[in-house]
């Protein structure tokens, strides 16, 4: 990704988000999956 001009921290966030999205997709409770996605997005924002 860095070869495409994406900064390292942004690339790491994208990869983490993609990995976690696979797990969250398996959750059957939509409210729970939305809550988990929000927590992950917040965590990624704080760690960029």
Query: What is the per-residue pLDDT for 39?
Result: 92
Rounded Cα–Cα distance for residues 26 and 10 (Å):
25
Which residues have a Cβ under 8 Å from the Cβ of 14 and sit 6 or more positions away? 1, 6
pLDDT tens, position by position, 1-48: 878 899 988 888 889 889 988 888 899 999 999 999 899 889 888 876
Quote the pTM value. Answer: 0.66
């Amino acid at each position: 990704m860095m070869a495409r001009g994406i900064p390292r921290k942004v690339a790491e966030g994208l990869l983490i988000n993609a990995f976690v999205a696979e797990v969250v997709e398996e959750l059957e409770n939509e409210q729970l999956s939305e809550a988990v996605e929000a927590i992950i997005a917040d965590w990624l924002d704080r760690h960029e």
